[in-house]
Amino acid sequence: MAPNAVAVSAPGKVLLAGGYLVLDRAYTGLVFGLDARIHVIVQDIATRNGVTLNEIIVTSPQFQDAVWEYGYRLTERDGGIQVTPLRVDATLKLNRNVFVETALGYTLTYIASITTPNVTPASITILADNDYYSTPTSLSAKSGAAPRFHNLGVPISKANKTGLGSSAALVTAFTAALLTYYLPKETIDLSTDSGKRKLHNLAQASHCAAQGKVGSGFDIASAVYGSCLYKRFSPDILSHHVEPGQPKFASQLRHIVDETDEADRWDTEIRKDEVKLPKGLRLVMCDVSCGSQTPGMVKQVLAWRKENADEANAIWQDLQNANDSLAKELRALAESDTRQSYEHLKQGFARIRELIRRMSERSGVPIEPSSQTELIDACEAIPGVVGGVVPGAGGYDAISLLVEDNETTLNELAKLLSGWTFKSEASGQPGDGRVSMLDVREEMVGVRAEDATSYQG
């Protein structure tokens, strides 16, 4: 590990309440960070004596062929720094990673816009905590303690994600690590409110560019700030700047990140103090190895809402009220000095699920499909399980549970899930889906600096 190496990590997320609502600035989402993190280490490129490399090399050693090499140059007419993917081997097909490539270009452009460009060659390593991906049977069956970072032995495109927000955590940690590596602390300090605000704006800009659309941004917000109540930003903030490499791109990006003018002010709301979890409770995430096509589901729900505005908006408002009540009850219990009943929390989860199923039925989109209803009902029947939901956009990716943090409850839950198989929605026969309890829980803290030496080896 080089002496000047820096390391940064960012958490995953779960949108416990506010799926679909969070796309509209009139509503909020209750987002919890998760202690599964994406880690990014930046250091000098190690070369033999007399060998000089003028490139940035990015590796993700948990996957096959996950090596990306980039050349970079400052473009003319304030177009920013252009990043060019290079072939690792002339005989190989060009390997692209749009999130890495976009975040690298945007971050280096921002750095060059605020200081004399001094971008030196660097080696960047990306590591993902194991719970971001469904563990292959061959690995989970191995005896002994699991390694800190599984070598999954497959290309990234073949790895099954568990839906914890890997792309947002990656872009946030990657951006933060580059800012820390190339800029002095007096220029940007990510431990300060100002530094986090700039990181948030820059990561949102590059993440939306990589996705090819302006999303709600709750996943980037939780990666930067941790658990929070979130109200999205106006899409216009990011929809009018020119493309990378075009004249004035660098200046426009700097204005967006630094909010230099009133017109550049972000209207997003991120309220950390309104999200608390009572002592003695914890979040549990359960991976359902079926998967959903989230973008397609979102498009269908929004199309239904557009065609049935009155009905949909009534459900939206009822859901917002139920979500607010749940957040308020969690906060009240957390601030109370005495042990209180969880009955109101249970009622809150029941009301949210009722409204989600109504939305699901009206729109024809499987937000809480019957197989998930059956699973959550079985989990809620276990003493100590307060309530559960299909988080985010819903479907078959995962369920999230709020449970009492004790060994008895967790063991009973693990016992139930170990023997659970999904039934096909069409045939009613057992399907391929297996359910496993992920080793994650809530995380109140967002992006943070790490000790680079802890990743040696």
Reduce the DSSP state of residue 228 to 3 states and report it: strand
Under 8 Å between Cβ of 442 and 277:
yes
DSSP for residue 145: P
Whether residue 429 lies inside any domain: the answer is: yes
Residue with tokens 């608390």: 276
Are residues 326 and 264 part of one domain? no
pLDDT digits (tens, 9 = 90+) for 10-34: 999 999 999 999 999 999 999 999 9
Residues 126 and 32 sit within 8 Å (Cβ to Cβ) = no
pLDDT tens-digit series, residues 113-142? 998 867 899 999 999 999 998 765 555 544
Q: Which residues in the chain land under pLDDT 70?
A: 46-53, 88-93, 117, 135-145, 289-295, 422-433
pLDDT given for residue 426 in this prediction: 44
pLDDT in tens, 214-248: 999 999 999 999 999 999 999 999 988 889 999 99
Same domain assignment for residues 265 and 288: no
**Tokens 């397609």, residue located:** 296
What do you get for the CA distance between the two ends of the chain, in Å?
A: 9
State which H helix or E strand residue 82 sits in.
strand 81-86
Q: Supply the pLDDT for residue 431.
A: 47
pLDDT at 145 (0 to 100): 63
Residue 193 main-chain phi, psi, to 5 deg = -60, -40
Which pLDDT score is estimated for 427?
Answer: 42
Domain containing residue 398: 276-441
Q: Which residues contact 124 (CB under 8 A, 6 or more apart)?
A: 40, 41, 42, 56, 57, 58, 59, 174, 177, 178
CATH number at residue 140: 3.30.230.10
| Pair 149, 211 in one domain | yes
Q: Alpha carbon of 135 to those of 42, 115, 178: distances in Å?
A: 27, 43, 30
Contacts of 46 (CB under 8 A, 6+ apart): 2, 123
- The gap from C-alpha 143 to its chain's centroid, in whole angstroms, comes to 30
Residue 103: per-residue pLDDT: 98
* pLDDT of 92: 61
Same domain, 210 and 97: yes
pLDDT at 432: 55
Residues in the chain: 457
Q: What is the C-alpha to C-alpha distance for residues 97 and 115, in angstroms, rounded to an integer? A: 27
User: At a CB cut-off of 8 Å and minimum separation 6, what does 390 contact?
Assistant: 356, 367, 368, 372, 376, 398, 399, 400
- 171 shares a domain with 234: yes
In the numeric block, the tokens 């971001």 are attached to 132
Answer yes or no: is 13 within a domain.
yes
CATH of the domain at 354: 3.30.70.890
> Based on the domain organization, do 122 and 253 belong to the same domain?
yes
93, 212: one domain: yes
Is 1 domain-assigned?
no
- Residue 452 structure tokens: 């680079």
* Tokens encoding 72: 């970079």
Residue 279 burial by CB count (10 A; 0-12/13-18/19+): exposed, middle or buried?
exposed
The answer on 342 and 397 residing in a single domain is: yes
Are 355 and 418 in the same domain? Answer: yes
| Overall domain count for the chain | 2
Which neighbouring-strand residues pair with 404? 281
Q: Coil, helix or strand for 223?
A: helix
Whether 22 is covered by a domain: the verdict is: yes
255 and 381 together in one domain: no
CA distance 366 to 396: 9
Tell whether 25 is covered by a domain.
yes
Task: Render 396-419 in DSSP notation, one character per residue.
Answer: SSEEEEEEE-SHHHHHHHHHHHHT
Which residues, 6+ apart, have CB-to-CB distance to 188 below 8 Å? 179, 195, 198, 199
Q: What is the DSSP letter of 425?
A: T
Residues 38 and 153 in one domain: yes
Query: Does residue 391 belong to any structural domain of this protein?
Result: yes
* Co-location of 282 and 243 in the same domain: no
What gap in Å lies between CA 275 and CA 179, rounded to an integer? 28
pLDDT value of residue 143: 42
